[in-house]
Chains A and B, each alone.
Chain A
């Protein structure tokens, strides 16, 4: 991996079920990325993927920690949650598959697009999940990619 230096590191907590604060972490990240001066189209795909990951913790898990490392030419995000984990990852990635309960669907979530959206927006996506323990989502975004 690159050994370039980290311009900024942000670590924030996410609470499962807290829909009032949901999105605050991604919103702060957007502001920081704008200040760093990355192009809007790059920021947009980072922030959309970040928000999907943040919402998955709020909706599906109990609590999580969201860490971002910003480099000169890339952004690295890790979202580590304590929660039920994902029993079948391949199924979870299928568009339209969702276990979101009715009250979540009423809010407009639960289309089952989040994970594939994260894959589409990021340059690298890795998920490490353990049933009954939790899920770790790792995403990388490269400034010079053609996405």
Chain B
């Protein structure tokens, strides 16, 4: 599944990184705890989160996460978007809450990080 398909499934808006939507994550992780993300995600995954500060982008950068999806209508601050643009990390925003977002992607076959 590509980020472009994820965008469709979650009816998401692209905040930055339109040119990277052909990327294909091998797994996904949904979390609002950054140390959890650092400890448990695999490289080449996408992160779904309700956090909006720029450390989310730093965490994604360090963990080789290839895209971040902000759930339940949350919007990252401008500095976070700027940083993501520099780091070439595409950002999507969906109105769907965390559970529904993860559920929809899982149903369509995107696995969790612990299942790889």
Contacts and interface: CB of A to CB of B under 8 A. Distances in A.
Interface of A: 19-20, 22-23, 26-27, 30, 40-41, 44, 47-48, 50-52, 55, 107-114, 116-117, 120
Interface of B: 32-36, 38-39, 43, 49, 51, 53-56, 58-59, 61-64, 79, 87
Report whether over half of chain A's contact residues are helix, strand or loop; otherwise say mixed: helix
16 contacts: A20-B54, A22-B55, A23-B58, A23-B61, A26-B58, A26-B62, A27-B58, A30-B61, A41-B43, A44-B62, A44-B64, A47-B62, A51-B62, A55-B55, A113-B36, A120-B39
B37 to A, nearest CB: 8
Given A41-B43, A117-B39, A19 B53 contact: yes
A113 B53 contact: no
B84 to A, nearest CB: 12
A68 B60 CA distance: 22
A111 B33 contact: yes
B35 A111 contact: yes
> 7 tightest CB-CB pairs across the interface, nearest first?
A23-B58, A113-B35, A108-B34, A111-B35, A111-B33, A108-B51, A51-B62
B35 A117 contact: yes
B38 A113 contact: yes
B-side interface mostly = helix
Most chain A CB within 10 A, of B33, B79, B87, is at B33
B62 A108 contact: no
Contacts of A41: 43
A19 B55 contact: yes
A27 B32 CA distance: 21
| Listed residue (B34, B35, B53, B87) with the most chain A CB atoms within 10 angstroms of its CB | B35
Contact of B39 (A23, A47, A113): A113
Contacts of A26: 58, 62
Contacts of A114: 35
B45 to A, nearest CB: 12
A108 B58 contact: no
A45 to B, nearest CB: 10
Given A41-B43, A108-B33, A23 B55 contact: yes
Contacts of A19: 53-55
Contact of A108 (B39, B53, B61): B53
Nearest to B56: A108
